[in-house]
């Protein structure tokens, strides 16, 4: 844990302490930020009626400051850099300052010419290296800060150090948002004996969230805690879903103000209970000193197991599809791939079970890792087989049935040469005795993972007459006549396409006597022509399909 004690909790912190020789002390810390590897504190310090400066030029005030940090007997000292200017003449009668609210006669005034109370630069800037703040010598996890003013030219000629004794501290504003969540800001334990007006401090601690639940009252107001990651939004009593994980919000309603949308994992002492606090709590709570530590919790990654088939392109876009991360302090975070045993940008990953680990980190480097399973499944090989036509009376072979049938597997590639006929549908191979009709052929192929794919195709065996006839041959037609092919190629192509009959079959058909008279009658009536031939083919072929 990295802990830093800081009097500043926001844009402005001011306080007034005990009187020194009857004179009121006052300081303000205006800014706290991290720059150049240092925690920077800027503000001013003032001792009422001891500010007897003769310096009149800007930035030449005779006050000097130093800051001490104490931890388990060790002291570190830092001097004012002089880079933050504050002119008290600009603060006279400022609203809300108790030392400037009793009238001009009781307040040091630059407008009075009958005195030498002329003050100028009382600002200070301290730069504390962050490395110093992590240098703990004992068990104490925080530093006590002491601000000291060296007044070298003040009323009564005092030139001794005037330490500011922090007995009564008032914090006018707290952090509007927690920017430095790697650092713990907490009051020194000794404060509890000095003041009853110390407001809730703020802690920044990098550690994992604890669990527990508690509902308590503070100053008559209910503070709602929650177990783990469960919240209830009191503004609308609604459950909130983050990815696949249901989240119920428990916020704080303090002084009529609801949760403002910014929330932090917190541990409250005394009592040691854990819960989640909205930032409005930190802006409102006050009372007896206690420590409240805001924990920088790691993001939550939402990711599910993935299943793909072999041959799928495995790349980052596929593995990150649907993966998201959410941080309770920083909102949505883009996760990344931390590691995987898959070959990326490849389609050659074998079947099996793999893993991918995702990583997400918030701006304060609280990290989360989540591993999911990637399953590459074996794809069933595919067979592509169309339907086939075959002529009655011809010898049917295995090669004919396998002609133009192909097979492909995503893992093994082309498996065409491994296709077998699993079921011929009752056909007799290497024979011309198969009757006309429709037959179902079942093809099969097996891949290297012993997975078999099947596909069906149909074989049509026809008794169909596809012939043209010339006028000269009409008188000689008989049941066993062989017809001459005397038609135009365009006509033949039309018929072949219409009936799905291959041209190679046209000499295999026979003429049946019952059709002879109709053909003759039409030909005698119309005479030989292209249209005659077409009619013969269309009508005769059509009526002879068996």
Number of domains in the chain: 5
- Block residue for tokens 């549908």: 425
> Does one domain contain both 387 and 427?
yes
Q: How far is CA 233 from CA 175, 304, 333, 394, 473, in A?
A: 22, 27, 22, 82, 98
Q: Is 110 inside any structural domain?
A: yes
Q: Choose the final residue of a domain: 243, 261, 295.
A: 295
* Contact (Cβ atoms closer than 8 angstroms) between residue 37 and residue 45: no
Statement to judge: residues 47 and 88 lie in one domain = yes
Angle among Cα 404, 408, 409 to the nearest 5 degrees reads 165
Q: Find tokens 């009936």 and name the residue.
A: 499
pTM of the prediction? 0.33
Instruction: Quick: pLDDT tens for 270-291.
Output: 333 334 443 333 333 333 333 3
Buried b (16+ CB within 10 A) or exposed e, 328-353: bbbeebebeeeebebeeeeeebebee
Cβ atoms within 10 Å, residue 380: 16
Is residue 63 in a domain? Answer: yes
- Looking at the structure, tell me whether residues 267 and 284 fall in a common domain: yes
**pLDDT, position 354:** 92
Lowest mean pLDDT, pick from 14-18, 385-389, 423-427: 14-18
Q: Are residues 389 and 341 in the same domain?
A: no
Among 238, 264, 295, residue at a domain's last position:
295
Scan for tokens 């793999």, then name that residue. 354
103 found inside a domain: yes
Residues 536 and 523 in one domain: yes
CA angle 75, 79, 81 (to 5 degrees): 150
Note down the domain range covering 263.
207-295
- Whether 306 is in a domain gets the answer yes
Do 154 and 240 fall into the same domain?
no
Residue 494 main-chain phi, psi, to 5 deg: -65, -45
pLDDT tens digit sequence for 158-200: 445 555 443 322 222 222 222 222 222 332 222 222 222 222 2
Mean pLDDT of the chain: 58
State how far the Cα of 234 lies from the Cα of 250, in Å rounded to an integer.
Answer: 7
Same domain? 495 vs 525 = yes
What does the pLDDT read at residue 74?
75
What average pLDDT does range 369-384 have in this prediction?
Answer: 88
Are 267 and 357 part of one and the same domain? no
Residue 95 has pLDDT above 90, yes or no: no
With cut-offs at 50, 70 and 90, classify the pLDDT of residue 144: low
Model confidence pLDDT, tens digit, residues 253-265: 323 333 333 444 4
Give the full edge-to-edge strand order of the sheet including 161-163.
Answer: 74-79, 63-71, 144-151, 161-163
Whether residue 136 is found in the same domain as residue 49: yes
Query: What is the token pair recorded at 93?
Result: 């009668």
- pLDDT tens, position by position, 306-334: 999 888 899 999 999 999 998 766 778 88
Looking at the structure, do residues 306 and 360 belong to the same domain, yes or no? yes
Q: Tell me, what's the pLDDT at 40?
A: 77
12 versus 193: the higher-pLDDT residue is: 12
Please give the structure tokens belonging to residue 375: 């399953």
258 and 309, same domain (yes or no): no
Question: What is the token pair recorded at 417?
Answer: 């040469």
**63 and 101 inside one domain:** yes
């Amino acid at each position: 844990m990295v802990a830093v004690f800081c009097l500043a909790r926001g844009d402005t912190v001011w306080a007034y302490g005990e009187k020194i020789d009857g004179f009121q002390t006052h300081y303000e810390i205006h800014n706290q930020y991290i720059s150049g590897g240092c925690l920077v504190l800027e503000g001013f310090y003032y001792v009422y009626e001891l500010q007897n400066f003769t310096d009149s030029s800007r930035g030449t005030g005779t006050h000097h400051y130093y800051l001490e940090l104490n931890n388990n007997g060790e002291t570190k000292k830092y001097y004012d850099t002089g880079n933050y200017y504050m002119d008290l003449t600009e603060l006279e009668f400022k609203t809300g300052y108790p030392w400037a609210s009793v009238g001009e006669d009781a307040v040091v005034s630059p407008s009075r010419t009958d005195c030498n109370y002329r003050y100028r630069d009382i600002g200070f800037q301290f730069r504390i290296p962050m490395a110093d703040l992590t240098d703990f010598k004992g068990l104490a996890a925080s530093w006590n800060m002491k601000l000291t003013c060296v007044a070298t030219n003040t009323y009564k000629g005092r030139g001794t150090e005037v330490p500011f004794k922090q007995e009564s501290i008032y914090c006018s504003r707290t952090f509007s948002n927690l920017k430095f969540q790697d650092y713990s800001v907490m009051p020194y334990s000794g404060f509890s004996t000095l003041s009853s007006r110390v407001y809730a401090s703020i802690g920044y601690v990098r550690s994992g969230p604890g669990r527990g639940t508690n509902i308590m009252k503070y100053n008559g107001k209910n503070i709602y805690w929650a177990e783990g990651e469960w919240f209830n939004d009191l503004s609308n009593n609604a459950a909130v879903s983050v990815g696949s994980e249901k989240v119920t919000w428990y916020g704080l309603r303090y002084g009529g103000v609801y949760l403002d949308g910014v929330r932090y994992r917190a541990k409250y002492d005394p009592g040691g209970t854990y819960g989640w606090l909205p930032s409005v709590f930190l802006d409102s709570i006050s009372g007896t000193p206690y420590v409240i530590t805001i924990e920088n919790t790691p993001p939550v990654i939402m990711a599910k197991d993935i299943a793909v088939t072999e041959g799928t392109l495995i790349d980052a876009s596929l593995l990150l599809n649907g993966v998201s991360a959410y941080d309770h302090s920083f909102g949505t975070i883009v996760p990344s791939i931390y590691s995987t045993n898959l070959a990326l940008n490849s389609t050659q990953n074998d079947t099996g079970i793999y893993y991918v680990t995702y990583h997400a980190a918030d701006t304060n480097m609280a990290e989360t890792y989540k591993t999911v399973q990637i399953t590459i499944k074996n794809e069933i090989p595919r067979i592509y087989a169309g339907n086939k036509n075959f002529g009655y009376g011809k010898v049917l072979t295995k090669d004919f049935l396998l002609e133009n049938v192909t097979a492909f597997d995503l893992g093994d590639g082309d498996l065409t040469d491994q296709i077998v006929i699993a079921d011929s549908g009752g056909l007799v191979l290497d024979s011309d005795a198969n009757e006309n009709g429709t037959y179902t052929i079942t093809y099969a192929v097996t891949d290297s993972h012993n997975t078999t794919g099947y596909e069906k195709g149909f074989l049509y065996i026809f008794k169909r007459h596809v012939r043209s006839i010339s006028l000269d041959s009409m008188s000689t037609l008989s049941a066993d006549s062989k017809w001459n092919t005397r038609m135009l190629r365009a006509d033949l192509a039309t018929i072949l396409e219409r009936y799905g009959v291959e041209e190679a079959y046209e000499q295999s058909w026979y003429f049946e006597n019952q059709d002879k008279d109709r053909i003759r009658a039409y030909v005698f009536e119309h005479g030989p022509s292209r249209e005659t031939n077409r009619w013969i083919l269309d009508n005769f072929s059509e009526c002879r399909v068996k």
